[in-house]
Structure 1
Amino acid sequence: MAEEKRRYFATPIDVKHGIIDLTHGAGGRATAQLISQVFARAFSNEILEEGHDGAFLPEIHGTPVVSCDAHVIRPLFFPGGDIGSLAVAGTVNDVAMCGAKPLYIAACFVIEEGFPIADLDRIVQSMGRTAREAGVKIVTGDTKVVEKGHGDGLYITTTGIGEVLPGIRVSGRLARPGDRVIISGSMGDHGMAIMSEREGLSFGSGIQSDSAPLNALVEEICRAAPHVHVLRDPTRGGLATTLNEIASQSCVGIMLDEASIPVHEDVAQACEFLGLDPLYVANEGKLIAIVPEEEAAACLKAMRAAPHGEESAIVGTVTAEDPGYVQMTTLMGGVRMVDWLNADQLPRIC
């Protein structure tokens, strides 16, 4: 069998100089070589190595959670990450925001003819590293190759599977007056990192994407604040749009304190230069936790002690007044509305 396998893969893929062609998506030897020498090498685990078209998963004991996502970011590589690490972190976070422990990921790749195999390998290796950091397994997937000019390099779609943490129930409908609004760090890093790379702009020290898996942080939140009401990651539309969604779903008001919202200086300067509001700029490694007042201090302490939560801050309060609206006390002492995002400030950022 070993000798037969060696003959089957007699000519290895040229990862360093090769490019993707249509035979890599045709289901024959080239496809098998791509799977074996690029994908399987990065994602190796006992479930994937069974070699089925799907995955036989161990029994899940908690309430199952499923999330799916499509990743179409441009550029594919950016300061602080790439489409591969983003795909895994984003999927992990979507499951975690359900108050769940992410366990498995399925990933599908749509690759454009002519795409450098070295870039694909780099992206796939990045996915593997991020999956290991998050403690999840990539267990199944699919690869398609489209003609040159029809794929913009690479698209990745993912499905995440997990189980709800014991005793946890979160929902956008559960915010209650008196709850505190906590965010896990500075706003706008990811969106501005993408914009600066895309447009060739330089803002001082260089802005890095915050893309990261947040499931370990969520587990710390749930231990410190077992009655946490809402968990969300403020991705497209940023903090402002996500809080408007929650206010609408829960029929409550939310009052923010502008002075308490962390924004890195280089991000603030970049937003000012481009005429953007950091409250509407996307994040990929930050979360919002809305918790009862009596659990807020313990939750904040736990978040600040956890990876990816060092800059956590209480930034607002849920109110019974003006249900469905988000407002903010400004640095000048006034109050202004924080409305929904009305247009796409930064397209193709995730």
Structure 2
Amino acid sequence: MRRVPLLWIGIIGCSIIAFFFIFGPYLPKIDRQLASKTYTLGNNGNLDFILPPYPPSESYPLGSDAQGRDMYSALILGTRTTIIEIALISIITIVLALPFGMLSAHIPLLRKILEAWNYLFSRIPVFFFVVLLTTIPFFVFSQQRPIWMISLIIILEVGKAAEFIHKSIKEIQQTAYYDAGIVSGTKISGLWRWYYVPGCFSQWLSYFILHMGNMLFLLGQLGFFNIFVAQKLTQVGGIPGTHIAFYQIENTSIAWPTFLANTFNDINNCPWVPIFACICITFTIFSFITFGKGIMQYSLLKQKGFISQKESMFSRKRSFLNYFAKHGKELSK
């Protein structure tokens, strides 16, 4: 692993994120309730009212937002919400893409469907698709908005993930030991168990981790446009005697992208809010990218023999099948 510094950097970064994910709520000076404060009293008496947002101080290490909530507590507690959201999207995407990509390498009809899927959804970036569709009143007023939001992102992403899995399986199918397995009569379940998973697992794991980073970047972009996975409409006024009412969109989670919603106003009034939120998002994306790239580099070096490894059962079987394929072709001549 010393040959792959990216892997070490990624492991350290992801370990820090995991620490806050698990132990964050139990750290000292964490306000688990995230109570809002409409004002605080100054040093000159009861008539000296100080309104939020509050700058970084001893009471607020990272300042507060416009509602008077402690940013230190909000960002640490928001780690769980953020990671769960992006992990849920990535897990469901990969779970759906695995059979889709694998079967498309064997069934021509599914391959055509996969090509059409990617052609349809690759013309426009995912960000613009999500912005256009989630601003439709049906999605805005729906009480199941988180389900619709996550489902929409998965639909837009599963084609690209399946295409990656399809290409990785095609690489396995072009090897000699795979041909030997076909000649020996290995079934689909055996191909999956002895060839696809051992040969492609590191690539799939790397893609999954990178996909989590991409999803966090996507949610961060949406946060700038006040579009969140979980949000609700709150009535803020209306005209008496009529059915006319005024509503505003209010987010209902503490995920990091939600602190980017009012960036243009906060950058003047409380710049620490978007700055610290961006630092958390950037650090997490960087950790996922380095970890994913590090896994891929480690796997390539291991395959090329630059990293010593004990001979596994799969390696012995692959060597035997290569020998079988080589001599089988000679005998066929």
Q: Higher helix share goes to which structure?
A: 2
Instruction: Give the alignment's TM-score, normalised by structure 1.
Output: 0.22
The structure that has the greater radius of gyration is 2
Instruction: Give the alignment's TM-score, normalised by structure 2.
Output: 0.23
Q: Higher strand share goes to which structure?
A: 1
